[in-house]
Chain A
Amino acid sequence: MSLVNYSAREITCKIVYYGPGRSGKTTNLQYVHSRVPEGRKGQMVSLATETDRTLFFDYLPLDLGSISGFRTRLQLYTVPGQVYYNATRKLVLRGADGVVFVADSQREQMEENLESLRNLQENLLEEGYDIREMPIVLQYNKRDLPGVVPVEEMEDLLNFRGLPSCTASAVTGEGVFDTLRQISELVLKSLSRKFQQPISPPPHRTSGP
């Protein structure tokens, strides 16, 4: 998959929502889906278990229309959060242009947040990505719940790399588009930087999910 296809005048970005199980990744996509007018979005594909947990991945294609003569599309994916689906997570991560790490703001989920973040780093490394170059946004979700961990504490705990972060309540939609805007801009700006130099095919750009 080519990110910027000048022949076809297309820009396609793949953004993966990563995070522990039940942190609200699918809810993020569902909210986006609910707010995008018909004709701008494809069908949201969601493969879930009987208990509504994501089994394989969610996929939401968004058509932003023509911008500066380029048909611009976003492909939003989620990974299954459960630990035992790591192979699927790696597969979904392949070809990603940016990652939103959705952290659960509840105190009892902090350990899972950390574990998932570590898992993200491992998988990115395994897939040949340079973590320092990969656009990542941290989303502290479920801010609407009582007794959530203060943002500063979550920053100390999870954002040791100083990544852009934002708070959200995916159920109400608060912060969802702000997160999407931040990651989209990071991805596009990273593309812009890449194209300052002669283009060379990015590593591991295969047509994964």
Chain B
Amino acid sequence: MSPLELDPRFTFDTFVVGAANRLATAAARRVADAPGETYNPLFIYSASGLGKTHLVTAIGHHARRVTPELHVVYDTLEQFMGDIMAAIEAGERDAFRSRVGDVGLLILDDVQFLAGQHRTQEELIRVWDAITARGGQVVLTSDRPPHEIDALDERLLSRFSGGLIVDIGAPDYETRVAIVRRKAEERGHSLEPGVAEALARIAFGNVRELMGGLNRVLAVQELEGRGVTADEVPAILGQAGAGREDDEFESFLKEISSTVSELVEATAVERRLADAILRWEGEGYRTRRLETALQSGVGQDEVEGVIRGFEADVERLREIAGEISALEPDAPELVRRDVLRDPDRLAEAEALLGEVRERTRPLPPPPEGFTFERLSLSPDLFAVRAAMAAAEQPGVRYNPLYVYGPEREGRSALLAALGEMLQRSAPEGTVAYVQGAEFAAELIQALERNRVDGWRARYRRARALILDDVDALAGTERAQDELFHLFEALHRTGAQLAFGASRPPQELEGLEERLRTRLESGLVVELPAATGEDAGLHVEAAAASAGAEGAGAEGATMSAGDGVGAGEAAEARGQGDEAGATAAGARAEDSEAGAVVPAGPDPWFLNREKVLWDWPYIEERLVEDWE
């Protein structure tokens, strides 16, 4: 592949911007600043000699300067496709494609020559896809818009039209004057007063012809060693400017063009809004709000506020999409472009984010520090053996496992140990351990925030669910309903389910029949009341104990047969109370001896349900007590 060199003279600095090419220039600059990110492809069309090549070359120069590592290829379509065909004939098609795949910016001039060349079009589609698949930018020029290129493949047409199509018109009079002056200056010549204006008044067909006229004037100045006056210009140009006046329509068009340019330039507010619409449409955002402002008419003083507000909302939408993507790269919400690209639906986008946040929130893990080895329950107990068997073959043997027994006889600890064991083999964060009351409270909170879908999806990704204290769900409606559906969903996926309660399912009051029968459908096992020191567990200090700081945790000892502690730990965790969360694992001293933990002070004070934690007007009460 031997692409053309970029002409060093053609940069943005040397391009004279006027009404006829302002839009194309703005688009070109944007593309050059961030190739592949905005208008891709950028399709520039115009009649010959109006600056297409200058503009796309300037894109190449600027992009190279901004991104030095960018591989820029500039070529004419004919040359480029000739290289492709040569590679195919030499049997190096794949090698060529891999070379092309590295291109970060492909600039193809004169793509109108694609007309009717089916094989070339086919190859171009492949090259195109190879480049754009890696985020590469494509810039094209043509003497006509894509739909006017004869026999253009529909796939190419849709690719050409997928970015921004912009034209360059004939420059108006003022721009022509500016071009003549700029070019004379670049060549180190000065023009007599009125010469540039006289040149600009002549009806040249395009800028190239205008430059030809300037060249003649400068040649006369050089050869004759004198300045050419404005009056001499028509004579020096001879036939150059004549003859064209015969074309009435072209002449009419030129005169009307400058009037249209004035009209467009004069309407600054509309222009500002239109540019904003074009920009954000190009970036794939809905611009209904700006269009409404355009139609209804906003004043000069309001327009900036409207656009700033719109852009702030777009920025927030970007943040939302970014956060969703970070939380869950495959989140189905990411395809909701109708919401995530519509600043008028920001509230809905926030709701989507809320759902994803809820769904991806870590599941409540089993409390730390509980293992089967450290349980002081006899390993021969049927309930313990069943739990261990369930842990060894999750979802296979006893599913669901239902353990019932008195509240303080180690039921929660046993379930926590089961959870700990399941967690060893399951992916991180997929074992949920939750108290019945906590489950119901979470649901109510999700309902309040209108995030039930996220809450539901969060639990449904569990590989194991352990729900203790089913008793707390008695009499609830929605919580039981949700638990029923969660049970069904998880059971279908083979997730291990375990439940704890004070009584067997048939004795639980206020439980829906369909839920009761499912709780009974696996293994229902009793954890009998403790007898002496056998019934209970001891807990060694877990890593979590390092964080035990709360007064409640200090000195708290998990008593034999204590189930409440675990429950409280879970509940306290749910509340975000670190002291409570670590209480269960905070007894290092006793356990180091390897002895069964003797019954210590009952940590009743940790129970958030029974203790009033926040005293209103505590000072007054203290004074009152003191008195």
Contacts and interface: CB of A to CB of B under 8 A. Distances in A.
B615 interface: no
B90 to A, nearest CB: 41
Contact of B249 (A4, A37, A196): A37
Contacts of A181: 252, 255-256
B260 A70 contact: yes
A208 B261 CA distance: 27
A11 B249 contact: no
Given A9-B274, A64-B256, A188-B256, A177 B248 contact: yes
B19 interface: yes
Contacts of A6: 270-271, 273-274, 277, 294
Contact of B294 (A7, A40, A173, A192): A7
B20 interface: yes
A199 interface: yes
Contacts of A37: 249
Interface in B115-171: 148, 166-167, 169
Contacts of A189: 259, 262-263
Nearest to A40: B249
B299 interface: yes
A188 B270 contact: no
Nearest to A195: B267
A69 B166 contact: yes
Given A7-B274, A173-B248, A200-B297, A185 B256 contact: yes
B297 A188 contact: no
Interface in A184-209: 184-185, 188-189, 191-192, 195-196, 198-201
Contacts of B259: 184-185, 188-189
Contact of A68 (B264, B269, B287, B291): B264
A68 B252 contact: no
Contact of A64 (B253, B295, B298): B253
Interface in A46-71: 64-70
B142 to A, nearest CB: 13
B481 interface: no
B167 A69 contact: yes
Contact of A188 (B248, B260, B287): B260
B67 interface: no
A157 interface: no
Interface in A1-17: 2, 4, 6-7, 9, 11
Contact of B299 (A4, A64, A66, A198): A198
A69 B297 contact: no
Nearest to B18: A68
A68 B19 contact: yes
Interface in B260-315: 260-267, 269-271, 273-274, 277-278, 287, 291, 294-299
Contacts of B270: 4, 6, 195, 199
Interface string A156-184: 00000000000000000100010011001
A198 B266 contact: no
Contact of B169 (A4, A65, A188): A65
Nearest to B296: A199
Contacts of A199: 270, 294-297
A189 B261 CA distance: 11
Given A66-B167, A69-B264, A185-B255, 13 more contacts: A4-B267, A7-B291, A64-B260, A68-B264, A72-B256, A72-B260, A180-B252, A188-B256, A188-B263, A189-B259, A191-B263, A200-B297, A201-B295
Interface of B: 19-20, 22-24, 148, 166-167, 169, 248-249, 251-253, 255-257, 259-267, 269-271, 273-274, 277-278, 287, 291, 294-299
